[in-house]
């Protein structure tokens, strides 16, 4: 009898893994647009739409944001945090970046290059047992709580590659924090749009770094050149920052 139960359980697990997983997982969290230099926290909704081996993560702010100049710094509203497309079959990842003119650019990155340190530490999130994992990625440390019972190797933003869906994730300074609220069976998004960009070819993360550095340099020079002092030499005290550290 025990052997029969083991066989049936094995068949059930294999059958679930063979099924194409579809659905949307909803997150809620916060993001400090000043990245810890000051407190500029705002609430965000996150959605991870999964369609088999493809997914789309988007992060949208709750309410309206009124940009303001604070502490002689300006942060770009469009960063790499907000729209990420992943394709496990082709080992591809695309992310969206919006410049100050709200023009959208897409760049490629490596799918799940982060090396996770997994632990036996556990907790429940929404009644689902989760395990803890930690990593460093693009200059920041991250903690993830993933659910081994949800066999999706994915998570918010670019994070993933663990043996289960990431239900909660945050950086070491807690400037970005996303926690799962629930899920639904809806899974529609424009896969063809992102696949066409992969097929045509798209520049990678080094191109994104170069693009952002040139943009920051032009902006800092522009602000630094504004002076009412004729003949004076001025230097901009404005500093621009992006979430992923690109030193």
| 195-209 mean pLDDT | 92
SS (H, E, C) the chain: CHHHHHHHHHHHHHHHHHCCCEEEEEEEEEEECCCCCCCCEEEEEEEEEEECCEEEEEEEECCCCCCCCECCEEECCCCCCCEEEEECCCCEEEEEEECCCCCEEEEEEECCCCCCEEEEEEEEECCEEEEEEEEEECCEEEEEEEECCCCCCCCCCCCCCCCCEEEEEEECCCCEEEEEEEEECCCCCCHHHHHHHHHHCCCCHHHHHHHHHHHHHHHHHHHHCCCCCCCCCCCCCCEEECCCCCC
Q: Which of 19 and 161 is assigned the larger pLDDT? A: 161
| Predicted pLDDT of residue 6 | 34
pLDDT, tens only, 34-49: 776 678 888 999 999 9
Task: State yes or no: pLDDT of 247 exceeds 90.
Answer: no
| Candidate from 1-15, 48-62, 69-83, 137-151 with smallest mean pLDDT | 1-15
- Tell me the average pLDDT across 196-224: 84
Q: What pLDDT is recorded for position 13? A: 38
pLDDT of residue 223: 63
């Amino acid at each position: 009898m025990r052997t029969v139960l083991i066989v049936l359980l094995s068949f059930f697990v294999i059958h679930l893994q063979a099924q194409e997983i579809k659905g949307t997982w909803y997150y809620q969290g916060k993001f400090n647009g000043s990245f810890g230099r000051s407190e500029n926290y705002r609430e965000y909704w996150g959605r991870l739409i999964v369609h088999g081996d493809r997914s789309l993560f988007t992060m949208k702010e709750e309410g309206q944001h009124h940009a303001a100049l604070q502490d002689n710094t300006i942060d770009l509203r469009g960063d790499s945090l907000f729209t990420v497309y992943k394709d496990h079959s082709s080992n591809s990842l695309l992310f969206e970046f919006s410049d100050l003119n709200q023009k959208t650019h897409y760049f490629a990155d490596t799918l799940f290059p982060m090396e996770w340190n997994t632990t036996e530490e556990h907790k429940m999130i929404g009644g689902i047992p989760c395990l803890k994992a930690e990593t460093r990625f693009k200059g920041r440390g991250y903690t993830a709580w993933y659910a081994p019972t949800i066999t999706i190797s994915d998570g918010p933003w670019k994070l993933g590659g663990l043996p289960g869906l990431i239900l909660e994730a945050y950086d070491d300074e807690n400037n970005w924090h996303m926690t799962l609220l629930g899920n639904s069976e809806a899974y529609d998004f424009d896969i063809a749009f992102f696949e066409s960009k992969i097929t045509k070819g798209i520049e990678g993360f080094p191109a994104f770094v170069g693009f952002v550095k040139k943009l920051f340099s032009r902006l800092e020079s522009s602000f630094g050149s504004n002076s009412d002092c004729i003949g004076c030499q001025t230097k901009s005290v404005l500093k621009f920052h992006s979430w992923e550290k690109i030193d």
